[in-house]
Homo-oligomer: A and B are copies of this chain.
């Protein structure tokens, strides 16, 4: 809990955090979530979830492991070969990587869809504006004219033309219930989560155990590198990825990497 030992008490702008600070990523993510809460984008509980994630990131060494990089490449291959890929955006995702998600969506030709645990019209509106400020031209999740089966009413709301009919979905920082319900719909699910033992990565086709601020730009880089790859090449990358091995490698890193 004494994790802010070398941290400035408060910074007004992200660029006040020195890039060579040993805990730069953690400070930047915390700062972005804090601003997200202040702007009404992120629920207060998102700050707690981010803190929880930051402890796992600390134990993982705060870097993209080789296995995580493989998962991010497999995720890019899945998104590129999808018929209808959708990237799901919640309050923490919007606060942490708004521009990065817009770039990934462009690189893999996917839709962005807002999907909230604590859904209110105000938060939906704030997130939509925030994404548009970061370059999004189309944002789904406002119509909410379909429902994910077997999920609480509010949390099940999705767009019929979006997540509901998508074949591949990226659901970063997502709760286990929704991850399970999407999996049960037969979708190919890519999850980004720093705790390899939580339910979301456990049910994902591609569990990415990495910090979202590193994972998303790296997925985009992989997608750009694979832009001209054939269907067969993408398929080979997808087949090569071993989800069990990825989860085990992350758990082992947390255990022994201290």
Contact = CB atoms under 8 A, between A and B. Distances in A.
Q: Is the interface of A mostly helix, strand, loop or mixed?
A: helix
A3 B50 CA distance: 10
A56 interface: yes
A6 interface: yes
B48 A30 contact: yes
Contact of A2 (B59, B152, B175, B258): B175
Interface in A175-219: 175-177, 179, 191, 193-195, 197-201
A173 interface: yes
Interface stretch (A80-88, A123-131, A232-240, A249-257): A249-257
Interface string A44-65: 1101111111111011000000
A9 B154 contact: yes
A245 interface: no
A13 interface: no
Number of copies: 2
Interface in A1-32: 1-7, 9-10, 30
A1 B251 contact: no
A174 interface: yes
A61 to B, nearest CB: 13
A44 B44 CA distance: 8
A142 interface: no
Contacts of A45: 4, 30, 34, 47
A33 interface: yes
Interface of A: 1-7, 9-10, 30, 33-34, 37-38, 44-45, 47-56, 58-59, 92, 117-118, 152, 154-155, 173-177, 179, 191, 193-195, 197-201, 251, 254-256, 258
22 contacts: A1-B173, A2-B174, A2-B179, A3-B195, A3-B198, A4-B45, A5-B177, A5-B200, A6-B177, A9-B152, A9-B154, A10-B118, A48-B48, A49-B51, A51-B52, A52-B52, A52-B54, A52-B55, A52-B58, A54-B55, A55-B195, A255-B256
